[in-house]
Amino acid sequence: MNKKRKQKIYSRGIYAERLAGLWLQMKGYHIAARRFETRFGEIDIIARRGHVIAIVEVKARPTIEEAMEAVKQPSEKRFDNAANIFLARQPDRKKLRLRYDLIAISPWKLPRHIEGFFHPEN
Neighbours of 86 (CB within 10 A): 19
How many Å is the Cα radius of gyration of the chain?
14
Interacting residues of 117 by C-beta distance below 8 A, sequence separation 6+: 57, 68, 71, 100, 101, 102
What is the tens place of the pLDDT at every residue in 9-29? 888 889 999 999 999 999 999
Q: What are the pLDDT digits (tens) for 43-89?
A: 999 999 999 999 999 999 998 888 888 877 556 677 888 888 998 99
Give me the half-sphere count of Cα atoms (radius 13 Å) on the Cβ side of residue 18.
6
Please give the pLDDT value at position 64: 83
DSSP state at residue 94:
G
- Cβ neighbours of residue 28 closer than 8 Å, sequence gap 6 or more: 49
pLDDT at 118 (0 to 100): 79
Set out the domains of the chain in order of their start, with CATH numbers. 3-118 (3.40.1350.10)
